[in-house]
Amino acid sequence: MNYLEIIGKYYENESAELRSILITHSTLVMKRAVSICNRHPELHMDKTFIEEAAMLHDIGICRCDASGIQCFGDQPYICHGRIGAEMLRKEGYPRHARVCERHTGVGITKDEIILQNLPLPHQDFLPETLEEKVICYADKFYSKTHPEREKTMEQALKSLEKFGQGGLVRFKEWAQMFE
């Protein structure tokens, strides 16, 4: 798989700035996830898959409305993971699609979707495999509005407070596993 070709296909009509934001953010997430993979050979994670899926985890942002990161689509930003999953399933990459739809926040439960009236299907979107978890974990250290700034652990935890206690617990468990 050439993830740059897939990105190019969906971003050929998007601005150079948006492509740069996506590639910069995704590369940083990928490098952190691969570094964790390299530090933990005992976890037997699929490094090639992590590289590919980390580079594609945010592919759906181009269809969302987030002008601060040059996204001028018509869908709510919370849907970017689900949209990216649809794109990757269409391309024949269902395993990569699961990373897209499960990385938002630290995963989203069916109950959270219903309680917050989110425009998502009423089901759990929680990372399950180690690869899904490590990409989701690494993603929390980089924003797309300031992709060059790496968050500290404290800043990452603070940014997750809005996702509720369950998300904080998941993130802390991952920190114990991956750091």
Q: Looking at the domain covering 3-178, what would its CATH class be?
A: mainly alpha
Dump pLDDT digits (tens) for 58-88.
999 999 999 999 999 999 999 999 999 999 9
Q: Domain residues of the chain, as ranges?
A: 3-178
> Taking the model in full, what pTM does it have?
0.96
Q: How far apart are CA 50 and CA 11, in angstroms?
A: 21
Q: Is the pLDDT of residue 136 over 80?
A: yes
| Segment 50-55 mean pLDDT | 98
Structure confidence at residue 32 as a pLDDT band (50, 70, 90): very high
Distance CA 66, CA 72 (A): 6
